[in-house]
Amino acid sequence: MGALDRDRPGCLELDPSQNGWLHRAMTTEPIKGPASYFPSIEKKYGRSIPEWKKLVRARCPAKHMDLVAFLKTEHGMGHGHANAIVAHTLAEDRG
């Protein structure tokens, strides 16, 4: 897979243990919720989503808005992007 494969429909994120991109089932429905921001977050801020989630988890336990403020002040992230990363990470950790 080439460097642009993550931009192809159906690609989620790089799985280092698999040396390739994970794919979700191809659907015609657009991605909704916080994950819809992920491609632009990676492109704009230069880190993968797993890297951002690792930074957020390193600050836990913490309140949602404290984590958003951390991403905004320490990493220059916009509010919507920071909120999307935090919301998705915390929801994922809740199971």
Query: Which token pair is 61?
Result: 């336990």
Same-domain status, 37 and 83: yes
Q: What pLDDT does 79 receive? A: 98
Q: Are residues 3 and 39 in the same domain?
A: no
pTM above 0.75, yes or no: no
Cβ contacts of 44 within 8 Å, gap of 6 or more: 81
CB atoms closer than 10 angstroms to residue 81: 21
Strands (E), 1-84: 11-15, 20-23
List, for residues 27-65, the tens digit of each pLDDT value: 667 888 999 999 999 999 999 999 999 999 999 999 999
Q: What share of the chain has pLDDT > 70, as a percent?
A: 71
Contact 88, 35 (CB under 8 A): yes
Name the average pLDDT for the chain: 83
Residues whose CB falls within 8 Å of the CB of residue 31, separated by 6 or more in sequence, listed in order: 38
Range of the domain at 43: 33-94
The overall longest dimension of the chain from CA atoms, in Å, is 39
Do 46 and 17 belong together in one domain?
A: no
